[in-house]
Amino acid sequence: MAARAFQTVRPHIPLIKFRGGHLPKESSASVPPATKSKPETSPTTTTHTTKVTTPGTILEHQQLPKKYARKPLSNEEMEFIQRGGPDVL
C-alpha cells in the first residue's frame, strides 16, 4: 500500500491588491484561543516574510484622464445585455 504524505496548509495570501487598502485586523485578545482536538506531535514553524512597501498615490475613477475612462454603452449594447446575450433561434 502506498504511503501517504500530508501537506501542511499554508495561509491564503490573496493575489489581488485592492486600491482602498484593507481593514485593520481586530486584536486577537478579544477572541478566546481555539482548543485543539489532537495535540501536535512535532512543532511546525512557518516563516512568512512580508515585503515592506510605501503607500503610493491612489487615483479614483473620477480622477482618471478621459482617455482611460470607460466609454459609455450604446443603446444597442444595453439591449444586448438586458436580453441576456445573442438571440437563440
**Separation of alpha carbons 14 and 22, rounded Å:** 12
- Reading the block at residue 51, the C-alpha cell is 515585503
Asked if residues 25 and 64 have their Cβ atoms less than 8 Å apart, the reply is no
Asked if residues 21 and 58 have their Cβ atoms less than 8 Å apart, the reply is no
pTM above threshold 0.75: no
Q: Which band of pLDDT confidence, cut at 50, 70 and 90, is reported for residue 71?
A: confident
Q: Say if residue 42's pLDDT is above 60.
A: no
| Amino acid at residue number 3 | A
Q: Tell me what percent of the residues of the chain surpass a pLDDT of 90.
A: 11
Compute the C-alpha angle 80/86/89, nearest 5°.
135
